[in-house]
Amino acid sequence: MYFLGVLNLVLFALWGEGAFVTQLNHMAQTQKLAWYYNRLKAMSITEIRHRVVERLKKNSGAVPDFISELHPPYVLPRLKGLSERWREAAKQPALLDEWRELAKKVQENQFHFLGVSWPKVVGQPDWHRDPVSCALWPNRPYTFDINYRHNHGMGDIKYVWELNRLQYLQPIAALAAAEKDGDLAQFCIQQLLDWIEHNPPWRGVNWNSGIELSLRVISILTLTTLLDAAFTDEQKQPVLRTLYQHGYWLARFPSKFSSANNHRVAEGAALYLLGVSLTPSPRVLGWLEEGFHILEEEAQLQIHADGIGAEQSPTYTAFSLEFFLLAGAVSREQERQFSPAYWARLEACGAALRAFLDKEGNFPRIGDDDEGRVVFSGFKEPDYMQNVLTMLAAALQKPELLPPKARSSLRTLVFGALPAAAPSEPISMRHSFTNGGYTVCRDTLDNDRERLFVIDHAPLGYLSMAAHGHADAGAIWLHLDGQPILVDAGTYLYHAGGVWRDHFRGTAAHNTVSVGDSDSSTIVGAFNWSQKAKARLTSAALESNDWNLAVEHDGYKKRYGVVHRRTVAARGAALELTDSLDGKAEASLPVALHFLLHPDVTARIDNGAVVVEKAGLALLRLDAPGGLTLELCRGSETPKRGWYSPCFGVKQPATLVRCSGLVAAGQALKTTITCY
C-alpha cells in the first residue's frame, strides 16, 4: 500500500487534480497500473523526485527552432578521419558488392529488420507504420502523450523505431562516396529530408526515446561526413536544425538512475559526437563536455573490471562497446582524448567477449538481444560479435582480440587497417570472471573436438531494473566443435511480447532448475523484476583437465526455503552435473531440470538417456537423474515449452529436455553429459 500511495502522489504531482482523475480512468487497465506500481518500486526516493521534475519539464518544454543560431554559409558537421577511412572501402570489391545489394533493396523500399519484412510502398518509407499490424503510430501528438508501452494492438514499438534510426543509409552513403555516385548521394539526402519533414520535433513516437535519437544522430553524422559536398545550402539548413534539436532533447532528458544503462552510453556518444563536429558555441561545447564525461564514467560503470558487461548480455555489451569505440576513434583526431583507463576498460571488455567465442565464432546467447547496432552492416548480421571484436582489435592493434573469422565492414574501417593475424592459440582456456559472474571452460577433447562450456553465477542484471537480464541463475551453455547445443531460448519480443516475453526470459527457458514452475527471479513487467536471485561462485579448480566448480543462488530461499546448488566436474569427455536444493523445506518440492537444445540438433530417448544428433551423427549423450520423469518437449503452447528465438520477432520450436518430479531437500540430482 505504501507504493500505491507514492504512485498516487506522483501522478497527482505530474498531472494536477483534474488531469489526475482523467489519467486514472485512462489507466484503469490492470496491466498499466501494475507497470507504474512496479516501476516505482524499482526507484529510490531521489529517483522519484527526478522523475517528477522530468515530467514537469516534458509538460512545459518548447523546442527551439535554432534558426537564430544558424547562419549561412552553413557548415555541416564532419567526423574527422572517418571519411578517409570509410573511403578505403573502394579498395574492397566484396564490401562494395554488399552495399550495392543493400542500396538496390532500399531503393525498392525493401526493408527487413528484426525478423520482419516491411510492406512495400511507393515513394519514401512510411515512417510510422508498424510492419506486423500495418497500423499507423500517431505522428502528430506530443511524443510524451503517446502510450507505446501498453498499446499492443499497434505492435511492438521497436519495429518502427528500428526503421527511424536511418542506419540503413550509412553503407549506402559510403557506397556513394566510394564510387562518387551523385544520384545515390541525393537518394540518401532525400530520405533524410523526408524524415525531417514527416517527423517534426517532439511530435509522434520517433521522438520519445533518447537512445533512438542518439542512433539517428550517428546516422545523420555519417551522411554529413561522407556526403558533405553533395548537400546544397538549401538542404543543409534543415539537417543542421534537426541535429541541434536532437542534441537539445538529449541534454534536456538524460537517462539517469534506473534507466542509466546502454541508453546512457548512447546519449553520451551522441552528445560527444555533436560537440566535436558542430560549429563551436557555448551550447555545443556544453554537449561536448557532457558527452565526454558520460562516456568516461560509464565505461567504468557498465563494464566490470574483469571485462564482463554489467547488463549481463554479451550482445548489449558489444552494442555499448560500439558507442565507446566510435567516440574513441573520433577523439583520436582531437586535442583532448579519452583516458588510458577508458581504453584499458574497453580492452578488458574485448578480452572477455573473445573468451566466449567458439572455434567458429559462435557465442553463447545470454540475456536479451534486440540486434541493436551503431554502425550498420546490413539487414542481417550473424557475425556481429566477431565484427565488433575486429573493430576493437583494429583500435588497439591487438591481434589477440581478433575473432576466428574476422572480416571487413563499415564498422571495422572506423579504425583503418587491421592488426596482423593473431598467432594460433591453444583451444584450452578456463577462466572465472568473478566480477561479471561467469566461468568459461574451453577444452580440447581426445578426438580434437572443441568443447565450450559456460556457467552463470552472475547478478540478474544492471541497476535496480535489471532490464535486460534473464532468470538464468545457475544456467549452463554448451557448444561442441563450433555447434551450439545447450542454448538460451533468446528474446523474441519486448513491449508487445506479453506472456511470451515472460516465457523467453523465465527460468524454464534456460538450462537450470526451476521449483514449482516458478522463476528464480520474479518478473513484474517487460523490463522489471521484484525479487532477484543472488548467485555466486563457491569454488573453482580449473587448472587441470579434470576441472570442477560449484555455484549457488538464493532465488527460491524466500518462497521455498531452499538454496539451489550446482556442481560441475569435467571427467574427460564427460561433464558431471550435480544439483541439490539445500535448506529447511519440510516436504518434497516439485522440481524440473531443463536442457534446451539448439534447433539445428535433434534428440531421442534411448534406454532412459537422451541422445543428441545432427544429420544422423551423435553429438552427445545426456544421462538424466534417476527417479524423475524424462520427456522431450517441442513447440508446446500450453504450457509454453520448447521454443527458441533465433532473432528478434521470430520464434520457432526447439527440443527441450525436461526432467521433473518431487525432490526432497538435500537430494542430489546427478546428470552426466558425454560429448562424442
Mean pLDDT computed over every residue of the chain: 91
Which pLDDT score, from 0 to 100, does residue 368 have? 96
- DSSP, collapsed to helix, strand or coil, labels residue 345 as helix
pLDDT tens column, 353-383: 999 999 999 999 999 999 999 999 899 898 9
* pLDDT tens-digit series, residues 621-641: 999 999 999 999 999 999 999
Whether the per-residue pLDDT at 410 is higher than 50: the answer is: yes
Whole-number pLDDT of residue 511: 98
- Residue 180 — pLDDT band, cuts 50, 70, 90? very high
pLDDT for res 6: 47
Peptide bond before residue 639 is cis, with ω within 30 degrees of 0: yes
Q: What is the pLDDT of residues 29-82, one digit of tens each?
A: 555 666 666 777 778 888 888 888 888 888 876 778 787 778 888 999 999 989
pLDDT at residue 601 tops 50? yes
Residue 195 exposure: Cα atoms within 13 Å on the Cβ side? 25
In DSSP notation, 237-281 reads HHHHHHHHHHHHHHHHS---GGG-SHHHHHHHHHHHHHHHHSPP-
Asked if residue 291 has pLDDT above 70, the reply is yes
Q: How far apart are CA 141 and CA 567, in angstroms?
A: 56
Domain ranges of the chain: 2-60, 72-145+152-415, 429-675
What's the pLDDT score for residue 20? 40
Dihedrals φ, ψ of 479, to 5°? -120, 145
Q: Name the strands in the sheet holding 602-606, side by side, starting at the edge strand that comes first in the sequence.
A: 535-541, 548-553, 562-571, 574-583, 669-675, 617-623, 609-614, 602-606
Average pLDDT, integer, range 105-126:
92
Query: According to the model, what pLDDT value does residue 22 have?
Result: 43
Average pLDDT over residues 307-311: 98
User: Which CATH number is correct for 429-675, 3.90.1150.10, 2.40.160.40, 2.70.98.70, 3.40.50.1260?
Assistant: 2.70.98.70
The closest alpha carbon to 268, from 324, 188, 202, belongs to: 324
The percentage of residues in the chain with a pLDDT greater than 90, rounded to a whole number, is: 79
124 pLDDT more than 60: yes
pLDDT tens readout for residues 531-554? 999 999 999 999 999 999 999 999
How does residue 152 score in pLDDT terms, banded at 50, 70 and 90? low
Is it the case that residue 14 has pLDDT exceeding 60?
A: no
Q: Is the peptide bond between 73 and the residue preceding it cis, with omega within 30 degrees of 0?
A: yes
Q: What is the CATH number of domain 72-145+152-415?
A: 1.50.10.100
**pLDDT tens digits, residue range 217-274?**
999 999 999 999 999 999 999 999 999 999 999 999 999 988 899 999 999 999 999 9
Reported as a pLDDT band with limits 50, 70 and 90, residue 94 is very high
Q: What pLDDT shows up at residue 15?
A: 42
Looking at 295-299, 443-447, 531-535, which range is the least confident one?
443-447
For residue 21, name the pLDDT band (cuts at 50, 70, 90): very low
Dig out the grid coordinates for 386 from the structure: 566477431
Q: Please check whether residue 375 is in contact with residue 411, taking contact to mean a CB–CB distance below 8 angstroms.
A: yes
What pLDDT sits at residue 427?
65
Query: Which of 93, 2, 19 has the alpha carbon at shortest distance from 59?
Result: 19
